[in-house]
Chain A
């Protein structure tokens, strides 16, 4: 992991010419004037780089240009302007089971597909047992794949894909296939790729996956780079956009930092600060602050937003509780205790703010930085005696 960029995308734009009806014959081409073609800019001056050995998440809603960017990096599409530099051997998983043919057996398709992903025959030989075991298709490899179910095809395609051996791996949404158990297996493989020091670019709609496994992320919006940075921040920005609140001025963190938020813990009923919160359980938002210069008018506030609607469901501040923190020099811990969190299961964001009680001046605000999930208490069915009336009737 030298930290040098494995991929540099420099001012890349991609224009597609969209014909109302694409002229595909000489006659049509002669009769159709070029002015009828409309320009569609799938990418506009996108600049970003992916460091060697890092995992980069690319998000954005449908049609935002994610896949186009990935195809440009892979060399399938040519940028209209700009430059892409890419170091090392690259494999692009844009589709599972590329080249699969229904008349071929599972085994033959593995070799065909593997060659498209850059594996030599020897490498495929060596990985073959692993591939079959990963796909869990030991008994079907000599059957033609036209007899496979769609699930089996997906498993086989993915099994080959995860045995590729590139320096740079581009993955387009292919993790989103299969059942939950298979997906977990896929995520495990991605983590293994990470440990092996490979560079990964991941296009996905699964925002939680980005938060979990990516080092950095970028969000594309109508072909432009809309956000670039830590996955948490980019995902949060994505959520705003998904909700229709396009806020180009979104600032995840701001303030003059006379006082700083040192640490925030969302303490569950069992004392842990990880894991789901049971609905109806107590929850403590614990904020540790640290001064850089002494202040005398600190007001600490927290707000909880419903992740589904982005509406605030709860807020509290020290001044409203009648607490005066006085002259502050050093560290302080503030606890906001919710005796029973009453809201529906789902995800909730926490915003923490430090401001001046007198002027409202912002010392430090972290907007929607912390996340917790509320789940319903598991149902426990206790067996009790239920009286049953038994009747017989003549018909």
Chain B
């Protein structure tokens, strides 16, 4: 008989009332951990579906940054560019941006797209936006592997003290991404405008972040307008992506051209810690919002 007694010993009583559930982080993390199988399976499913009936499959994910690197290497050789080693500069920010925007885009749709599951199956709803992040993360890791290999093979090389910033910047990026994804996913159930609005917001945000242009350029232009400069720095992605660029691109100035924000490594690390702390607080808030709202998802879809 498959009735396992150890489980019976820890029989839990669940009480459901009209009260909106309140998020208790530790308890909820245990619940999510117990349901990790669903998360892994959903991510696996998304990846399989994405590359279903394609011969090369995940190779397409790798090809994307590779072509980027080759094209830009070639173009900058022929045409020249304002930023030295432009391919390395571009990808050190762009891959992170892709992770961010893909997570937000798919995350905002995640509950709506799975309406049927939400209406018919009881499982922790957080898994839906988390799986959107998970899918973007897999792409990010694959593409980063190509990028890191390029840095090594092309002879660009790593810059050691700066590289230490990578884990901090990456975790900060994840925290920002998760906080916003939870918020958008829950909001989109009630207001379907969110999806449209997000497209526009992401476009503005992309150009408000130093990814294709040099951060140092902005800093110099805004040197006489400290208030605007501070506003610009309020963009958490400017700091986060700035941190990733600093750790991978490595130098603030190359060939006499200022590229990255002209700040000390310590200042950048402190800024990242501040953004991380703010993001964690925000994540707690948006997760709480998502959790409270999730009790009504089945009804509102």
9 inter-chain pairs at a CB distance below 8 angstroms, sorted by A residue, are A24-B190, A78-B16, A84-B15, A84-B17, A85-B14, A85-B15, A89-B7, A104-B48, A116-B121
Q: With A94-B120, A116-B123 given, is the CB distance from A71 to B18 under 8 Å?
A: no
Which residues 36-73 in A have Cβ within 8 Å of B in the complex?
71-73
User: Could you say which interface size class chain B belongs to?
Assistant: 35 or more
User: Could you say which interface size class chain A belongs to?
Assistant: 35 or more
- A86 in contact with B299 (CB, 8 Å): no
- B120 in contact with A77 (CB, 8 Å): no
- The segment out of A95-103, A250-258, A347-355, A367-375 that lies at the interface is A95-103
- B12 in contact with A87 (CB, 8 Å): yes
Separation of A75 and B122 alpha carbons in the complex (Å): 6
Which residue of chain B is the closest to A24 with respect to CB atoms?
B192
Q: What B residues does A72 contact at CB under 8 A?
A: 16
Q: A26-B193, A86-B13, A112-B44 are in contact. List 8 more A-B contacts (CB 8 A).
A: A85-B14, A87-B11, A95-B121, A98-B120, A103-B53, A108-B45, A115-B40, A144-B52
Please tell me if A88 contacts chain B, counting CB pairs below 8 Å: yes
Please tell me if B296 contacts chain A, counting CB pairs below 8 Å: yes
Separation of A98 and B298 alpha carbons in the complex (Å): 15
- B298 in contact with A71 (CB, 8 Å): yes
Which residues 27-58 in B have Cβ within 8 Å of A in the complex?
35, 37-38, 40-42, 44-45, 48-49, 52-53
Q: What A residues does B123 contact at CB under 8 A?
A: 116
Please tell me if B26 contacts chain A, counting CB pairs below 8 Å: no
- B192 in contact with A76 (CB, 8 Å): no
- B49 in contact with A78 (CB, 8 Å): no
Please tell me if B208 contacts chain A, counting CB pairs below 8 Å: no
Q: What B residues does A196 contact at CB under 8 A?
A: 1-3
Contact of A78 among B4, B121, B296 (CB under 8 A): B296
Q: What B residues does A82 contact at CB under 8 A?
A: 17-18
- A85 in contact with B18 (CB, 8 Å): no
Please tell me if A318 contacts chain B, counting CB pairs below 8 Å: no
Q: With A16-B299, A26-B193, A71-B298 given, is the CB distance from A120 to B2 under 8 Å?
A: no
| Per-residue contact bits, chain A 22-36, to B (CB 8 Å; 1 contact, 0 not) | 001111010000000
Please tell me if B149 contacts chain A, counting CB pairs below 8 Å: no
Please tell me if A81 contacts chain B, counting CB pairs below 8 Å: yes
- A94 in contact with B16 (CB, 8 Å): no
Which residues 253-301 in B have Cβ within 8 Å of A in the complex?
295-296, 298-299
